[in-house]
Structure 1
């Protein structure tokens, strides 16, 4: 069993400000943080992101991937939103990751409010065939561990990964890096477009610091009850 409580992030994946606000209100006190990503940010803008992040911890998941200077400048521009987690793609390479970390350190003057920088390894919608189609002949596990080691060495605070890679990453990197796991599906949930999934209990026992759950919460008849059921499952896994 996990000795540390795995925490729950609700992914508010929608282009509607009204819908996201309704979910955020329903889930206040039921989840540990909310995640806003590309869909919401592009549709509603940064002021809307700021408004939703004023009342709950914000995971800003924009997965920046560009030349090092552009990513660094982008993170400086996003700093006023004050997320506690934010993402870049590990495939951007060590210089991009190092510049991203430096930009956050500068923006927050090295203080405790600096967002933790997460490197996305292999998207949970991808499997071995998907990787081969883009010219990567490693298994998802091997690719995740390779990218994870590089990203942490370059300055990332943690990784976004599938639950299936958690044990290997803990073996390779120890307990310090934050491991954030999307693709979590409670028993009975539809897989949707995810290929590498686990239950909340499985992810917690494998060493996840945070799990990200979207549609099984937001599309439930009672999102607050769905979130509470997952929290209860996580609590049981920590005992």
Structure 2
């Protein structure tokens, strides 16, 4: 992958998302379309962004019984996404069925722990131990289930890379050194995540909400 940066296009207006994508497409490697975008614009919106010619990452975080997740995966097969997310917490059977239902060219990766969560949040949901321990447990489960990789924060990616050498590792919640972290709790810079073994770097607000998105995309690219 020549440029590992996927721009998160989680904008409510399709025209604005298309305009932003067209403006920066020469400086990113693909586009991540999340739940907000997909619920607002559906298959049509995905096709509109895919027409720009870069890979599409459908970050839908599927999490349900195995049969339902497999059906959802089959329903998006025609969109030919490069990457799709499921929740590792859905269990091994769900992940196995998701992978079996995906297209051959689609990487299925499991979300381990959202970058907006930390140890206190884990404790409140009844999960003991550190965020790091939880990510490592779920990464091992995803590998056992036959998935292509996982989603984790930049704080865990080096350890996961050591454990899963050929895993496809997606790191979201990235910020440049001078960026405000907003609602993210476990963040690193794109350069740090890449050096630690990240395969894909998901960058959203540092580009999409910048005063000059093109300059911001170039700045992120230059750090790599």
Task: Please state which band the TM-score falls in when normalised by the shorter chain.
Answer: over 0.9
- Aligned equivalent of 2:6, options 6, 9, 13: 9
Q: Does 1:179 align with 2:181?
A: no
**Equivalent pair of 2:12/2:40 in contact (CA under 8 Å):** yes
SS at match of 1:91: helix
TM-score (norm 2): 0.96
Q: 1:191 aligns with which of 167, 181, 190?
A: 181
Find the aligned partners of 1:148 and 1:223 in 2 and give their Cα distance: 33
Q: CA RMSD in A?
A: 1.2
SS at match of 2:33: strand
- Runs of 4 or more, structure 1, over 6 Å off, are none
2:66 aligned with 1:85: no
1-side partners of 2:153 and 2:205: how far apart? 17
Q: Measure the CA separation in 2 of the matches of 1:6 and 1:148.
A: 24
Corresponding residue for 1:164?
155
What residue in structure 1 maps to residue 110 of structure 2?
Answer: 119
Aligned partner of 2:206 in structure 1 is 216
Q: Counterparts of 2:122 and 2:12 in 1: how far apart (Å)?
A: 29
Rounded to whole Å, the distance in 2 between the matches of 1:125 and 1:5 is: 28
Normalising by structure 1, what TM-score? 0.90
Structure 2 unaligned residues grouped into runs of 5+: none
- Supply the distance in 2 between the matched residues of 1:20 and 1:52 (Cα, whole angstroms): 8
Q: Who is 2:48 aligned against?
A: 51
Structure 1's unaligned 5+ residue stretches are: 235-239
Alignment size in residue pairs = 223
Q: Distance in 2 between matches of 1:23 and 1:149?
A: 37
The answer as to whether partners of 2:3 and 2:28 remain within 8 angstroms in 1 is: no
User: Could you tell me how far 1:54 is from its partner in structure 2?
Assistant: 2.4
